[in-house]
Structures are given as C-alpha cells and as structure tokens.
Amino acid sequence: MTPTILGISFSTRMQGLAVIKSNHLVDYSLKLNKDKWGPLKRDLLLSSLASCIQCHTINTICLSIPPLHQQTSEFKELYLLIRSLAYQQKIRLVEYEPKQLLMLVTATERKTKKVLMESICAIYPELSLQYEKEMSNKNKYYVKLFEAVACATLFSQGIGI
C-alpha cells in the first residue's frame, strides 16, 4: 500500500497542511483562525484534521514541532490532541524539528527558511505562486504551509527518519 502522508505545521493561529502520496503533492492548504483560543477553536481545528485524515486515507502524520521555548500552553494542548487523534486512528506519527526541515536544502546553500521554500518550489513547482506571495508579504504568512510540505517530503523521501 502506498503511504499517504499528512504534513502539518501548526500554531494555535495558523495550520499548514500538505498531503503527499507517491511523492506527489496531492493537496495543500493554509488555514488561518484569528479567534481566541478556547474549546470551540480547538474542536474546529481537530475536526478539520479528522476530515482531512478521512478524506485522504492518511496513514502517516508528520509534524513540524517548534523548539520547546516557543511552545505555548495552548500549542502543547493542541499538540497532545493531535497525538491522541493519531493514536486513536492508528496512524503513524513522526516529528521533525525546524532544523531537520533544512535537510531539503543542498549543502552548498545557506540554511534559511527562504532557501527552504525555494528548494520546495523546485520539487513542487505548483507552490511557486505561494512563494511569490510570501516574498511580497510584509508579515510572514505562508511559512507554515512550506514547513508542512517539507515534513511530508522528508518522510516521503525517507530523509531523517
């Protein structure tokens, strides 16, 4: 069976999602939720993930996990709920730290988020529009999307497992 991988990079405000199957990016999205953290927002995020898992028959979830000092209590709550969801649905869960995502950048290039996004666009040209938008944005917006794609790509290509 061909693995279907869901890459997730999330905070309590933004969620980047990417689905990769047979080394093809079959779906991706960036979800922004400006509401204050609470049970309603938490349940909305979880039901969105559950829907994606069911729709694409996900069998592996890859999470981009920020450094411990950047994790809020709300983030930790959401993280534990995602782990629980994966466990309940018998889905493999793999975690990547931000520095691991940079394994997609060639050794000769500077290891920056901008170069990571360029490397991902080289693999998935369909993300070029999002890259261009990100470069013209004053505030970073699409980074979570690219991190989600990077997680799923690393696992898909067997890098850093």
3 backbone dihedrals φ, ψ, rounded to 5°: -70, 140
Cα(12)–Cα(90) distance, integer angstroms? 24
Residues counted in the chain: 161
What is the per-residue pLDDT for 2? Answer: 74
Amino acid residing at 10: F
Which two three-digit tokens encode residue 4?
């279907």
Please say if the pLDDT value at position 1 is more than 70: no
What is the reported pLDDT for 5?
A: 95
| CB atoms near residue 30 (< 10 Å) | 18
CATH classification code of 4-156: 3.30.420.10
Q: How far apart are CA 96 and CA 154, in angstroms?
A: 9
Query: What per-residue confidence (pLDDT) applies to 104?
Result: 83
**pLDDT of 14 strictly over 90:** no
Q: Check residues 37 and 52 and name the one with the higher pLDDT.
A: 52
The reported pTM is 0.91
